[in-house]
A and B are shown apart, each in its own frame.
Chain A
Amino acid sequence: MKTVIKTTNLEKVYNSSVAPVKAVNQVNLEFKEGEFTAIVGPSGSGKTTFLNLIGGLDKPTRGNVIIDDTDISSMKESQLFDFRLKHIGFVFQAYNLIPVLTAVENVSFVMLLQNRPKEEMEKRAKEMLEQVGLSDKINVRPNKLSGGQQQRVAVARALASKPDFVLADEPTANLDTESAFNLLDIMSKLNKEENITLIFSTHDQRVIDRARRVITLVDGAVSKDEYFDK
């Protein structure tokens, strides 16, 4: 299987007023195409920082992040914007939809930034909303949707642009059990059917139970990297 992401000696050091803090410490990992990975660990273990680094939202202090044979750690910000747009999908804990856009507009938004043709964009957005079970909510704004529905729109948005991989930062943390299972079903299905690489940071056992690979971070370093047959 093709390697989608590779990190080598990845480090992120925050300079606090008391002492420097290594949020990510010498992480060497590879993520293959189609993997469903959960990154787990206690609060402050560096899960979100690690996602930010491999998502190009933050710059490493040392080491490299190589995506699709491209080292993004040395890219300029303007290059990173284009790179993220083309290769990476994001799902955030707090849904983070654009409140003034309808569901279909939210899903189309990234494709619009990618300069996709209007017809293709609309077709794909409606397809994705259908796949996440929201075909009857396409013209509804986020404030009229439940938390679970909003997160499903966020998943549709992340996947609509056909990224190489999706980074999901605790996507089920704010959801009730039913909504969380529903969302995980959808993501698992898309992972299998469209071979999309999913990387979750999570505390949630329901997510961990679905993942075929679980990486445990402690104090910014990898303490366990386990594969499961599911």
Chain B
Amino acid sequence: MLKPIHMKMLVTLAWRNLWRKKRRTFITASSVMFATILAITLMSMVNGMKDQMVDSIVQNTTGHLQIQDVMYNDEPTMDHALGYEQEVKAALEKYSADIDYIVPRIHGFCLASKGMSTRGVKVMGVEAQKEDQMNSLSSRLIKGSMFEPRDDFAVIGKGVAEQLDLSLGDTIVLLGRGFQGMTAAGKFKIGGVLAFPLPEQNNTLVYLPLDIAQGFFAAPQRLTNLIIMTKQKDLVPELAEKLNAELDDEWYRVLTWEELMPDKVAAFEARDAQVSVFAWILYIVAGFGIFGTVITMMFERVREFGILLSIGLKRIRLSIICILETIFVSFIGVLAGIALGFPIMFWLYKHPIPMADDLGDVMIDMGIEPVMSFSISPDIFISQAINIFFIALIVGMYPVYKVFRLDMGSSSRK
């Protein structure tokens, strides 16, 4: 067992050994530093873009959290619409400090027709102001206007308008299945047309005011999804847990955006794995830089190691010195990399790179700001330190192997 005084001696020896060959230490630390900066840049850019996409997906589809009827996610029919009752309102009130705003929705699939033309549509009952807050829905209007409270007209996707030959002021007939087997049937004037980036949205969406849609589906005071937007994204898992604990699990279920979109999460994980491969290529390059130094150091110091062993330093302690030297030089490089990389990433975080031309247009259409965003999440910087530490430990095994094979008698005379 090492006493503190012995550990101090080993640390002192390792640290001072590092500065015997300043230029070599500088070159090795520099190689680690550049690898760290590149890895930080890569991870910062990828995470920044990922955050941007997640925000976009969350805002345009699920929200951060949803309260649903306990059966709805497995069987999304109107029969499993949620009763927006006092229990739910009380729970939301209790955790209002974490909640930015809530967005109620009711939606179901119907047949839409005009004259002899019929097609399937998704009828969305929404509060227009809340949708604007969440995803700027009214900014997608290309004709007419968005409904206000007490309006009773429909706003439809561009594709629906084209396929059913609907214009402003025309009437659309909707027929579907309402709550608990009721027939959902109604006629609505067209008050606006929206253009979405995805054909699926354009060709299927029909928006109605929330109260009108609830009446249409014969489900007053009921919602299919109660969307919750949290004040910060990292509050999502904790708030979901708290709300799940607060609400009766026989009736309600609180789901995070990740639970609602497992396919997207899987896609992100697959992309993260690909990025990790590139990051590890950088780490391996840095690892070889350190390894080269370690090999040179071993050749130069065979005699010195022989002496240390001869005068009584045990092999394990000599190995610790070698590993500490590797770790020290690696960490100097990592710290320098973070010190240089962080201001650059911070600047890019504050000043995202604008995306021009076609790519920028595509991003706008997707509802994503046309910029390349960077992340300054502490995880990115901490993970560099951990990964380089791991590499240093692997490289540090070489001198340990050599020290344990060193012949004391001959090496101390070299």
Contact = CB atoms under 8 A, between A and B. Distances in A.
Contacts of A94: 303
B408 interface: yes
A113 B20 contact: no
B167 to A, nearest CB: 87
A100 B16 contact: yes
Interface in B278-334: 303-304, 307-314
B312 A113 contact: yes
Interface in B122-167: none
Contacts of A203: none
A57 interface: yes
Contacts, number: 59
A37 B334 CA distance: 55
B412 interface: yes
Interface of A: 48-49, 52, 55, 57-58, 78, 81, 84-85, 90, 92-94, 96, 98-101, 109-110, 112-115, 118, 157, 169
Nearest to A83: B312
B233 interface: no
B171 to A, nearest CB: 90
Interface stretch (B2-10, B83-91, B392-400): B2-10
B312 A110 contact: yes
Contact of A57 (B16, B314, B412): B412
Nearest to A141: B16
A100 B13 contact: yes
A81 B3 CA distance: 18
Closest 9 CB pairs of A and B: A100-B16, A85-B312, A96-B307, A58-B409, A52-B409, A57-B409, A113-B312, A57-B408, A81-B314
Contacts of A92: 307, 310, 412-413
Contact of A90 (B16, B20, B304, B311): B311
A54 to B, nearest CB: 12
A159 to B, nearest CB: 12
Contacts of B312: 81, 84-85, 110, 113-114
Nearest to B411: A57
Given A100-B16, A118-B5, A113 B408 contact: no
| Max chain A Cβ within 10 angstroms of own Cβ: one of B5, B312, B314 | B312
Given A57-B310, A85-B312, A96-B412, A101 B13 contact: yes
Contact of A112 (B9, B409, B413): B9
A49 B3 CA distance: 35
B409 A100 contact: no
A70 B314 CA distance: 21
Contacts of A110: 311-312
B56 interface: no
**Main SS at interface, chain B:** helix
Contacts of A98: 13, 304, 307-308
Given A58-B408, A84-B310, A113-B6, 7 more contacts: A57-B409, A81-B312, A85-B312, A96-B303, A100-B13, A112-B6, A169-B413
Interface of B: 3, 5-6, 9, 13, 16-17, 20, 303-304, 307-314, 408-409, 412-413
Given A57-B412, A112-B5, A115-B3, A78 B310 contact: no
Contacts of A157: 311
A82 to B, nearest CB: 8
A197 B400 CA distance: 35
A177 B245 CA distance: 89
B206 to A, nearest CB: 79
A100 B20 contact: yes
A52 B407 CA distance: 11
A90 B408 CA distance: 13
Nearest to A78: B314
A100 B413 contact: no
| Max chain B Cβ within 10 angstroms of own Cβ: one of A48, A81, A99 | A81
Nearest to A12: B409
A114 B9 CA distance: 13
Contacts of A85: 311-312
A94 B306 CA distance: 12
Nearest to A58: B409
24 contacts: A55-B310, A57-B409, A57-B412, A58-B409, A81-B314, A84-B311, A90-B311, A92-B412, A92-B413, A93-B413, A94-B303, A96-B303, A96-B304, A96-B307, A98-B304, A100-B13, A100-B20, A101-B16, A109-B9, A109-B311, A112-B6, A114-B312, A118-B5, A169-B413
Contacts of B304: 96, 98-99
A100 B308 CA distance: 12
Contacts of B310: 55, 57, 84, 90, 92
Nearest to A114: B312
A6 B13 CA distance: 37
B16 A113 contact: no
| Max chain A Cβ within 10 angstroms of own Cβ: one of B3, B9, B409 | B409
